[in-house]
Each structure stands twice: as C-alpha cells, then as structure tokens.
A = this chain, B = another copy of it.
Amino acid sequence: MSIRKPSALFLAVAVLLAGAASAQDTKSVAAPARKQASQKSQSSTIRVENVSPEIRAIRFSNPPLNFIVPETLASLNEAVKQLSKDERVKVVVVTSDVPGFFINHFDMGEFPDFLSQFADNGKPMWVDLITNLANAPFVTIASIHGRTQGGGDELALAFDLRYASKEKAVFGQPEVGVGLYPGGGSTDHLTRLVGRDRALEILLTGDDYGADTAEKFGWVTRALPEAQLDEFVAKLAARLASFDRTALATTKKQVNAMAFPPESALLASQGEFAKSLSWPGVQPRMQVFGKMYQELGPLKVESNLGHYVGEGNKQLQAQQAAKQ
C-alpha cells in the first residue's frame, strides 16, 4: 500500500493551525513536539517504570494537552519492543501523568510527519506499533483517568484491557467532525466491540461519551469510581503477574487472532486517513477550529471537544449560508 502524500494545501492549513495555537499558548499543540520527532531525548513523552520485575508502567506525558506526537509513537513502539524481549514482564499498565487527559489525539500540526514515519522494518510506524501491541507477550492495561480522543482512543482500543474512571474518563473520535477519516483502527475495533449502529454513532457524530456509556456499549472493559480505579488496576496487575507467562501470552494471542484488526485493515485505514487530508471539508474546518483555538484557548476546546466540534461545524454552516 502506498501512503499518499498529504496535499500542499493541507500542509499550509496544518502549519497555520499549529502556529495559531502556539501563538496563543506557547506550551501547546505542535511546537514542543515537533523538535522531539524521531529523536530520543530525556524529555520523551513516554516513560517506562519498573513496578516490579513482572509489572511495568508506561507513563505518557505531553502537557498541557497530551497530544500524541511522532516521538510518542517512536518511543512507545521502542518500549513495547524492548519489553517484549524481557521474559520477566507479564503486565504493562499504561497511564497518563497529565491531569484531564489519558492520551489525546494526534497533534494536528504533525500529520505530515506521522505519515512519513516508518519503523525499522519499513512499516508505517503507527501500524507497526499497533501490531506490536497486539502481539506483545504481556497483557496491556489502560488505566484511564481522563479524556481519550481520536488517535488516543485508537491507542486505547489497541490495548488488551481498558478501565475508565466514571467521573473523569471521556471518549471520542472527533475525526469526522473535522472532515477527516478516523483511520487509526477505530472503525475496526469499535464495529467489533459495540456493533454496527453504535460504532456509526460514535464515529459519525464525533461526540463525547462518558465512561458509563462507554462501558454500556462495550467500548471499555469496565467503568469504575475514580477513587477505586488505581487499586482495581493494581490488584488486577498483581494477580496476572503471579500467573504463568506462557498461559497468559498464548491465550492473549488466540483471542487477538480472532478479534484484533489484521495488519491489512490497519494499513488500509491509515491509507484512507492520508487520503482524507485532501478531502474538501478539511480546510474550512481547520480554519474554523484554528480560530476557535485562538479565541478560547486550546485547553478549553480540547476539554469539551465533542461540544466544540459541533459548534465549529455550526459556525461553518452559518458562514456558508451567509455566502449564498
């Protein structure tokens, strides 16, 4: 599969958007991330901790908005590959160090870099990462205390188990609302987990979903009171860590063989996402959302994204009606 190069038009829009946001909040959006892409530094967005020989924590941090940047994918993929070689590791718990967000969507200013990011084996970095997560001989557990949006949700969907704070976790796939295709695997995962119609509702509306609805739909494994979440995950991790690694890994492998999206589907989805960057609905929406970022600040928009996706489209619709 060939990944089509995003159009020059979008590059301009994306740079505009990234610039607009940076101007308003120097810590935000694309600026700090861009430098880190494809370099390993002390300031990686990914940190691996030894909880015990059998249990590791992967902590993600890219304040203030916890956007995924290209460095995130490279570092996370490297961590997964290294941990897969360590025969002691049975459980990996994934958490966020940034209040309010678990893993947020891709930094929109970095789309071109994501699409030109490849693993050592020549596969698109995202697809290699997701496949490595599926095949890892340890159990991955997402402990979700905050917003989980777009590519961040698609990462969450690639972990084995997902536990969400009833009070704080929020889920959404905003891509369609900004004119894009949700191409990181959510179409495959959600259709399997929540059924055709609920997957369509989630993907087409781009709206926010609380943890209780996510649990009812089967989007997360369980929703738990915020006060109990860490203890629940710690106990679960400890239990699994006392089990036999071969039994855990073989059973995980078999279930994933049945229900994890195959690499061909992940590649096709990424290709569709790349194509969607040139769709006619993207540029006008990027302009509207860039302006909204400037006026309201990225944190306010990102913390109520489902709502603002609706507002942005409403504004665009009003603008277009006024022109006619």
Q: Which residues of A contact B (CB under 8 A)?
A: 139, 159-162, 175-177, 179-182, 187-188, 191-201, 203-207, 218, 220-222, 236, 239-248, 250-252, 254-256, 258-260, 269, 272, 276, 279-282, 285, 310, 313-314, 316-317
In the complex, are the beta carbons of A276 and B259 less than 8 A apart? no
A-B pairs with beta carbons under 8 Å apart, 15 shown: A160-B204, A161-B197, A179-B246, A181-B247, A195-B218, A196-B259, A197-B221, A198-B218, A200-B255, A205-B240, A242-B317, A244-B280, A244-B282, A247-B276, A247-B281
The CA-CA distance from A310 to B235 in the complex, in Å, is 10
The CA-CA distance from A182 to B250 in the complex, in Å, is 10
7 nearest interchain CB pairs?
A244-B281, A242-B313, A196-B259, A179-B244, A197-B221, A242-B317, A176-B247
* Nearest CB of B to A39, in Å: 34
* Nearest CB of B to A111, in Å: 15
In the complex, are the beta carbons of A250 and B236 less than 8 A apart? no
In the complex, are the beta carbons of A221 and B244 less than 8 A apart? no
Identify the closest chain B residue to A268 (Cβ).
B254
